[in-house]
Structure formats: structure tokens, C-alpha cells
Structure 1
Amino acid sequence: MIPSDFIDELLSKVDIVDIIDEQVPLKKGGANYMACCPFHKEKSPSFSVSPSKQFYHCFGCGAHGSALGFIMEYQGLGFVEAVQYLADRVGMTVPKSAATPNPQATAARKQQQQTLEDTTAAAAAFYQHQLAKNPRAQNYLQQRGLNADIIEHYGLGYAPDGWQPLAEAFQPYPSNALVNSGMVIDKDGKHYDRFRDRIMFPIRSQRGQVIGFGGRVLDKGEPKYLNSPETPLFDKGRNLYGLFEARAAIKDAGRILVVEGYMDVVALAQFGIGYSVAALGTATSAEHVKLLLRQVDNVYFCFDGDRAGRKAAWRALENALPLLKDDKALHFLFLPAEHDPDSYIRAHGAAAFEDALLHQSQPLSAYFWQALSENIDLQQQEGKAELIKTSAPLLAQIQAPALAYLLRQQLSQMVGIDEHNLANLLGQDAPKRHVQQKRHQLPQQTFRQPEMSTLVQKQIRALLINPQWAVYTELPEYLDLSGDFACLAALAERIQASITPLNSGAVLELMRHSDHEHSIRHIFRQAMRSPEEYQHSDAEACEDFKQGMQRLRDALKSRQIDALKHKLQQGELSASEKQLLLTLLSAPKPPPQASG
């Protein structure tokens, strides 16, 4: 049996859009991706893939599931084989066997994760408090033109000078959590703060949790920027600075801008360009590109025009090639050598910066050929041969069929070799193996009206779509749970026991092979008949969920009181049941909920 923790981690590292798009070409349709369903014949697309919830659903035949479920259905693989298929893609080793799950060990791992998150959050609060007390740090940010709103939006702070300032906020100092979260350095048994006398930039995960920091010196000093080390929370190759804070601006602009520095991100936001992000002290990785392309269809890279900036741009392009899609576009803007985004926007203003971004940036295709040919003399046959040699392995990585064809066509024109002969030189792609697909039978009453749902089923559906709400599902142990109530409790318990934050697709896999799998999938199908009701996770919807849980607790309590009273009348009540009845009857009633 493969541990559920492994499945959770696996599904957090794969992207269902990438998995399905390799088998069934997807097109962006609003927040989701659409295609004709691969499991039944249809003329118009009803197969939807959600990048945010990480599940697929067909509104025609009802097929649904996670990335793992899709591989099982589409390729006809068993559970273990499908897990191995996905694990191979992300470099994970599937456990060959697992001992009986240990609830204590699972709880301990989850507690350790929570402790690290609490530590980084407390450190961020400490640094913010210190900024408010330090005129020198405040003056530095004012000189950089940052106002109070931007400072608050990005949670900027200040790490005081000294060896152990964090001892003021953490007792005992040091602790394992401080060391394991990268906040404190342990060197030969001596401990001191990693960040000292620096402006602090909290780095957040996509769910808003502080996972690490970047620190910038106020005066001259090296290194200019210091970043958190790799920790159980912080993987710099899989996260981007400012992405959490930029969510709304990215959605409004329909594009995302990648710059090199934390201060660039914050300065651009100060001037109204809030859709920028930065890599975390490293080159733009393939994982970064995947993350970017999940957000929008247009990604802009802005680099300094110097040698280092062009090297960083080319590295980003190389890592992006295997991930390109025909409905996605990457652009590259190089600023004058004397400028970075921060200085450019201050010198020329936001309108001039955006004009340059939109009208002077190069599409990937143009930058690709310019960079490859800038030091080659294409008037000479040797130069043409060199261009073919250097471009061939790069072109072979491109999986977007239309773009790959057009780039090869352009190479044909540049070197003066017809497309057929050039194809022979470059080598032809091997034909893809056809996979026999499993077919789902259409239900006989596809268009029947949705069934009337009970409150508990509505709560289960909401929890499937918003797993983070599991923290609001407390059901006291003395309540007698059965049927859908037991299903809700088991679902919430499994979500809360997971070390890895779960998306909807992962929750479906979490309940696979459980006693409640059939009920969960039935309720999930109901949710997908009117997904707009459940896909919002704003404060109002969350409050509705909390109130629903309170009504369920009240109903369960009333039902249990009635059952105990009936047993009392029959003279069948045990001593413990009498005590429970007295407890239930004496418990204060909750205040009535305000009506909307």
C-alpha cells in the first residue's frame, strides 16, 4: 500500500493541465481549460480541467478525477502503475511497501510543519515591528519612494543589527524550529541570526504562508541580497517572490512580468504595475515557467541590458522551450544598460515602462533567432551550418506543434535549404504511440434536474472544492455520526491529517479505497452540475460554510437528545448515557445566526 502522504506530495508536484494536455490538447476557456471529452464522443467541448483545483470533469458523461485518476482511465493503468508514471515525471521514488499507518507519526510530522510555519510567520511579524521602530530603515524605504500602503502590502520589515535580535521574540533561543526554518545559523554549536541589519522581504507561498525571506543591506555590503536557505518550507526553484501579492493585478492585466530583484517588484507596484514577480536569487527554472504559464497566457521577462541580464534571459528561454504551447506567448524586454526596472520606471514613469513592455519587447521566436545568430556570419556557408547545428537540439525540445513548425520554416529561409531537406538534417519526430482509451458510458438521464441535496451533502461538496475549510468542521466526539455525517467527518479528518496542503484533485485521491469513496464521488458529481455555486472561496462563502457546520452540530445534538430521551422513557439508559444527556441539556444554546 502506497502511503497517502506520498500521494499528497506527488499530486502537489504535478500539474494536471500539463498531464492532460500531453494526451488531449486543451484550450483556455476562462479560468479553466476545455477540450472534447476523451471518454465519450461529442462535437462541442464539455471536458473541463481546473488548474486551481487540480481536477477534471466532463459535463457530458460525468467522468472526473485528479491527474492520477486521468492517467488510470486514459492509459488503462492500475493505481500503482499510474503512481509510478507520475512519480517518474517529477523524480520521486515510490515506496515499495509501507507499514501500517502510524497516526502518531503523521500527527508529529504535521505538527513539525505547523511549527515551522508559525516560526516564519512570527519572524515576519517581528521584522515588521522592528521597521516601525527604526528611523534609519524607514528613511531608506522612503528614499526608494515606497509608501506605507506598499510596505504593508508586501509585509516589508527590518532585521536589527546584532547577533541574536530574534531572541527578543523567541524563547527559548535558539530552537530547532528557528534553525530548521533557516532563521538562525548553527555553526560549531554557536548560534546567530541569519539576517542582520537588512530590509526584509517575506516570501510567501501561493496560499499566503511565509516560507522564507530575502534581506537587502541598507548600506554598502556583501552580499547585497541574502536569501533563506532551502528548508522543508522553502524551495526557491518552485516559488516566485510577489506571486501571492500580485494575484489580483495579474488577473486584471491578463499578463505577468518577471523581473530580477525583490525591490524591482515592489517599486513597480508602487507605480501601479502590480503584476510583477521575481525569481528567488536563482535563474528562472522550468518549474518557474510552469508556474507562470498556469497563471496567464502572456508572460513578459524584463532583464537588464548588460551581459548578466542577457545570460539570465537566455537561461529562461532554454528552460521554457519544452513547456511552450501554441496558445501561450513569452516576451523579452531588455532595458538600457544603465537601468533596471526600478530605476527605469522612476526616470520615465509607468506609462513609458508599460509602452516599452508591450511594444518594444521581443516575442520568444524573434529573440531565439537573434541570440543564436548575433555572432554568426550568415553570408558564409559555414555560418549557416553552425546555425543549423546550434539550433537543432533546441528546436527538438519544442512540443508546441505550430510554433515548432514555424521556427523550422524560418530556419529554412535563413539558411536557404528547402523544408524537406532541412527536416532530414534536423531529424523527424518519432510517431507517438496510440493509447487505447477507456470509454465511459453516457448516463441515460444526462439532463435530469439536480437532486435536492441535504445540508450535510452541501457541506461535503463545499469541502471538496475548498479543502482549506476543513479547519472549521469540528464535530464533538460525543455526537453519533453515521451515513453522510460520518462521511463529512472522515473527509475533514483526512484533509487535516495531511502534511501537504491539498487541492480538490488530491482530496478525491485521498478518499480512494475508503469506505466513503462511492459517496464522495456521487456528491462530487452533483457539485459539478452547478460548479459556480461552490468554486468561490471568498469570505462570504467561507462564512456560509461555518454557519452550515453550526447548524449541523445543532441538528446532531437535537437528534441525539431525542434518542437519549426515548431510551430514558424505555428505562434503557445507562449511567454514562444519563451523564451525556445531562451534559447535552445543560450546554448553552448558540446565539441565533443573523439572516442574510
Structure 2
Amino acid sequence: MIPHSFLQDLLNRVDIVDVVGRFVQLKKGGANFMGLCPFHNEKSPSFTVSPTKQFYHCFGCGAHGTAIGFLMEHAGLTFPEAVNELAQSVGLTVPQEPSPMRGGFGGGRPGQGGQSGQSGEGGYAPGVSKAVTNALSDIMQTACDYYRKQLRSAPNAIQYLKKRGLTGEVAARFGLGYSPDGWQNLETAFTDYRDDSLVEAGLVIVSEKQDAQGQARRYDRFRDRVMFPIRNVKGQVIGFGGRVLDGGEPKYLNSPETPLFNKGSELYGLFEARLAIREQHYVLVVEGYMDVVALAQLGFQNAVATLGTACTPIHVQKLMRQTDTVIFSFDGDSAGRRAARRALDACLPHAADNRTIRFLFLPTEHDPDSYVREFGTEAFKEQVDRAMPLSQFMLNEVLAGKELDQPEGRARALFDAKPLLQALPANALRAQIMHMFADRLDVPFEEVAALCEVDARIAQAARQAPARKDRHLVTGIERKALRNLVMYPRIVAQLDEEAEQALITLTRHGELFEEVTTHARALGDAAEFQLLSDLLRNGANAPTFEEIFREILDYDENVRDLLMKNPEDGAVQEERREQERLVSEEMTAAILKMRFDACSERLDVLSRQSRHTPEELAEYVKLNQTRADMKRQLGL
């Protein structure tokens, strides 16, 4: 776990205006800075950055947070990656300490590691210094600029792109370029062609042959190809994909593995597609980068592609950070089916109840680009809407080719289903899929669970469980108390142990209160909504807290204004203290009401019993007295 004190120190050292300003054009407007929101399309600026509060907020879509939260939302980084990025920018090393919580905050999102010094998925490789990665990033950008310039004087490449229906605008958006035919064209782009960094970046290959001076010969990796820059989630060029213009082989050539580039964890077009993914509420995963660019030209700007490799769990993790709905589009041939099966395997561990994963199979003679051009965008949208759910595709894969009317066929189906069911989380979706198998195989549910070695009790309980977004539907007095704690976390210091335990044990959603109070006590006097919201957004209950955040910022105008005011202003400090005093009194009354309700429920249970033990009689008398005292305090 990253210590809370370090997070406070880090946010004190970085300037959110500089962080946001790298991605958004900001203009001074009074005490704050204004700009067009990067999280939704707008024509008039509603995005505000407060240098005094080190906080951003969009009055249009409700996006908000600290510099850490901005990198998480805009660049798609995990919490540890965002912290590490900011720490490196100010020369700090991220420390680690054991996590005191039982799953709420461990330095990463569920299912992800919490080590801060490495990303483990598409970030810089462990052990590579910031100076090295910066130098390689500069080299890749120089190469990208060179390729783009060469495209202007390459009629054969321009003709190829026009033939594929691409305009100059789309080519510019994706930074397309051209690598000329020849062995050492990059020599004109770099002052020292023999710099080993060019080899490390994957741009130059060292030959076993030697030149006249006895040195190993070098030559450009990419020659006579249309070049597709591959960017990471921060927009930096980390690799290239090259498409041959004639019938040469290989048809597509990617950069090799480098300290910047790992094709098993990167997705082509994700940087360009982020806003469209948010607006369309789904991401479309296709098989090649030409499909991505062509679909963007045709109006589907939310498409991405893997880079000549099968879809991996890391790819799925990255996609799920952007949206809860992922649709894979594959060709209908045998190769497409095999790719879809590998994608299914990668998706299973991430198949949560509140996520949608579908598989779209086009006719064998079409890819997404050709299908849209022949049948139109509406026809393709209909195909997307009718894409096959993960559950059905999984069922089809397991049952395909089995003689289900024979014991051997049913046994083989159960054998094939076992690793897939075990890969799924123990949730409602797995239970429903198991019931589908049981129905199709005409065997009891318990038998499917036993033979596949899946805990039937967990699965059956999950069958009745509501979706994740509803599991923590906090209402009434609990919701108001939770909202007050999130907005004014310093009031936790005024709660005694009995009051705090009441919030955790007497409420229907005690784990939410425990997560807030644990963070608030760790932050101490520095506990404020800004940093607390980033911490809660990183925890297991993030969807529930996001609703609380929106409620606070959308409907409480006084609170929202207070967030953007100068914390050093004496009047603001007094206003803050008065708000905290009022909320603290409201919290005390709310806890008293919770205890009163719990006492009343216990008395009701005891009063319904026909017989009582001496201990229960004593409890009944004591609870009656306690309830009467609380009733007077509440004025009931």
C-alpha cells in the first residue's frame, strides 16, 4: 500500500495546472483556470482547474479529482501508475507499506498488482530508468515526424491510403507516415545513425555482416511501408506497425519488444479512441490497425486493435478501465473463430455481473471496413447490437461437435467446460452459465458444479445476487450519512469508537463506512474530499462511491463552490469549519437514529418470542430503558 502521508506530500509538490495543462489548453479565469473538458464533447468551456485547491471539476459531465485522478481518468493509468508518474516528475520514490484494510485499498484495482515501481502492463519495463525511457520516447517521436514528412512525397503510399478510402484528416489524426524504400533512410533523421538507442528502440537492425571499416552493418527495420504509430495511453509513440504496399511479406510488421513497447499489453488506437469509447459506452475490438483507421473514417471512432497477437488478460484489463462493454469483431473464418476463442479465454476472469462482453462474427468475405462500405453504417450498427453474448459463445464452444444424446458426448462437454467455469469469478453470471449447461446437458445443477469442481453454494447464492451496481444501493439515512462522511472526512476524528462501530455494524453497507473511516483516520487533519475521492475511486466499491461523488457535485452547489475556493482564505476556512460543525451534529443524530432502529428491531424480535431465558428478560428490560432514553434524545 502507498502511505497516505506520501500521497499528501506528493500532491503538495505537483501543480495540477501543469499536469492537466499537458493535455488541455487552459486559460486563466479569475482564481481558476478554464478549458474544454477532455472527458466529453463541448463547445463552451465548463472544465475548471483550481490551483489553490489542486482540484479539477467539470460542470458539464461531473468529472473531478486531483492530479492523480486526472491521470487515472484521462490517461487510463492505474492508481499506482498515476502516483508513480507524478512522483517521478518531482524526483520522488514511491514507498510501500503493508495494507491495513481487508480489500478496500491495496494500491491497485481489483485483480491488479500494487507495486508502484512498475506497471506490469504496457508501462515501462522494470529496471529501466526514467532518463532512458524519455530518451527512447524522443527517438520514437523523431522517427514518427520523419515518416509523416516522407508520406507527403510518396505518391504510391498516398494512393494506397486513398484506395482504402482514407482522407488526409484521418491520416493526420492517427499520425500515419511512410518509410521509404532503401536501407538507411533514417540516417537523415538522426545525427548519429550508429547510436545504440536506435537499435534499442527497434528502429534499426544490426547485421552479422561487417562494413569496410570492420563494424557491424546497420539497416532500417521498416522499408517501403505505410507506417502506423502505436501510442500508449499518454499519447507517446512507443512503437510502429508497418503495412507493405505490394505483395511482399510480412504483410504487417510491428516493432519488436523494447523497454517502451510490449505488444501483449498494448492496443492500437486506444489513445485516439478514448473519448469516443466514453461517448458510445462501448469499445469495438477489431483484428488490424487498418480496420481501426478505416472505421474511424466511417464514423466508428471507438475501435481499437490488438497488435498481431492474441487478446490477453492485460488487454481486457485496459479495455475495462475505459468502459464496461467490450465487443470483439472477428472474421467468420476459422482463423477468426480461433482468435475469438483466445479472446474468450482472456475475458473470463474479468466477466463481472455489471460488464457486457460480446462477440461479433462477420461473413467470411468481409472485414469491418468492407462490410460498412457495402452495407452502410446502420447495417453494421445492427450487427454490433446483435453480437453474441459471452455466455452463448462459451456454451457454443463447449457443446460444438459433441453428441449430447450420448454419455460420452455429455462427459466431454463437462470436461471442456471445467477450465472455463473455473476461470469465471464466483458471481451471478457464472451461476447462470452453469444453469444453462445443466439444462442443455439435462443433468442436475449440483452435478455440473461437482464435476467441474466449482463451489455450488457460491454459484447458487450468486444466482440471486443483484448486479454489482445495485449491490450497494445505499438509501435513506445511510446514504446521507455516507455522503456527509465522504464530503467532510475530518468529522471522523470527532467520532468515538462506539459511534464508528455503529456505522460499520448497524448499517446495511458497513464495508462502505469502514472504507471511508479507515482512509479518513489515516489522512488525519489533511483528510479532504479531493484526495479521499481518488482513494475511494481506486477501491473495490468504486461504482457506489462514484454515485456519491456525482450526487455531491451535481446537487450541492454550496459544497461544489467551497471545493474551488482558496483554502488559505480566512473566510473560507471559517465557512468550512461551520459546515463541518453542522455536518458533525447531523452525523451524531444519524448514528443515534441507527442505534434506535437497531434497538427497536431487537426488542421486536424478543417481544415475539413465547418464552425467554433469564438473560433475554434482562436484555429486554435494558433495551427498553435504552430505547426510551434515545427516543427522548431524538425528540420522538
TM-score (norm 2): 0.56
Shift of 1:110: 2.2
Matched, 1:333 2:360: yes
Any idea what SS the aligned residue of 2:178 has? strand
Separation in 2, partners of 1:370, 1:88: 28
- Does the 8 A contact of 1:324 with 1:400 survive in 2? no
Counterpart of 1:152 (choices 169, 172, 179) is 172
- Does the 8 A contact of 2:486 with 2:533 survive in 1? no
Counterpart of 2:150 (choices 130, 145, 164) is 130
Any idea what SS the aligned residue of 1:257 has? strand
Separation in 1, partners of 2:356, 2:450: 28
Partner of 1:172: 192
Partner of 1:72: 100
- Does the 8 A contact of 2:284 with 2:328 survive in 1? yes
Partner of 2:49: none
Shift of 1:524: 5.1
- Does the 8 A contact of 1:206 with 1:244 survive in 2? yes
> In the alignment, residue 339 of structure 1 is paired with which amino acid?
H
Counterpart of 2:393 (choices 352, 367, 385) is 367
Shift of 1:71: 3.8
Percentage of matched positions with identical amino acids: 42
Separation in 2, partners of 1:121, 1:193: 16
Separation in 2, partners of 1:527, 1:376: 51
Separation in 1, partners of 2:525, 2:200: 41
Evaluate the alpha carbon distance shift between residue 123 and residue 372 of structure 1 in structure 2; reply closer, same or farther with a 3 A threshold.
same
Partner of 1:421: 447
Separation in 1, partners of 2:382, 2:328: 14
Aligned CA RMSD, in angstroms, stands at 4.4
Partner of 1:297: 324
Partner of 2:207: 187
Q: How many residues align?
A: 400
Matched, 1:213 2:240: yes
TM-score (norm 1): 0.59
Matched, 1:239 2:259: no
Separation in 1, partners of 2:261, 2:175: 18
Separation in 2, partners of 1:165, 1:519: 60
Shift of 1:423: 2.4
Evaluate the alpha carbon distance shift between residue 120 and residue 450 of structure 1 in structure 2; reply closer, same or farther with a 3 A threshold.
same
Shift of 1:75: 6.0
Evaluate the alpha carbon distance shift between residue 424 and residue 74 of structure 1 in structure 2; reply closer, same or farther with a 3 A threshold.
closer
Partner of 1:287: 314
- Does the 8 A contact of 1:164 with 1:193 survive in 2? yes
Separation in 1, partners of 2:202, 2:424: 38
Offset from partner CA, 1:350-381 (integer Å, 9 cap, x none):
1111111112x111111111122121121222
Matched, 1:405 2:431: yes
Partner of 2:302: 275
Separation in 2, partners of 1:107, 1:422: 46
Partner of 2:408: 382
- Does the 8 A contact of 2:235 with 2:271 survive in 1? yes
Evaluate the alpha carbon distance shift between residue 236 and residue 72 of structure 1 in structure 2; reply closer, same or farther with a 3 A threshold.
farther
Evaluate the alpha carbon distance shift between residue 349 and residue 362 of structure 1 in structure 2; reply closer, same or farther with a 3 A threshold.
same
- Does the 8 A contact of 1:55 with 1:67 survive in 2? no
- Does the 8 A contact of 1:326 with 1:400 survive in 2? no
Offset from partner CA, 1:217-241 (integer Å, 9 cap, x none):
0111000000000101001111100
> In the alignment, residue 258 of structure 1 is paired with which amino acid?
V
Separation in 1, partners of 2:104, 2:151: 58
Shift of 1:321: 0.9
Shift of 1:518: 7.2
Gaps of 5+ in 2: 8-38, 41-64, 81-93, 119-125, 209-215, 459-480, 491-518, 535-544, 554-565, 567-636
Evaluate the alpha carbon distance shift between residue 449 and residue 298 of structure 1 in structure 2; reply closer, same or farther with a 3 A threshold.
closer
- Does the 8 A contact of 1:262 with 1:278 survive in 2? yes
Partner of 1:473: none
Evaluate the alpha carbon distance shift between residue 387 and residue 68 of structure 1 in structure 2; reply closer, same or farther with a 3 A threshold.
farther
Partner of 1:141: 161
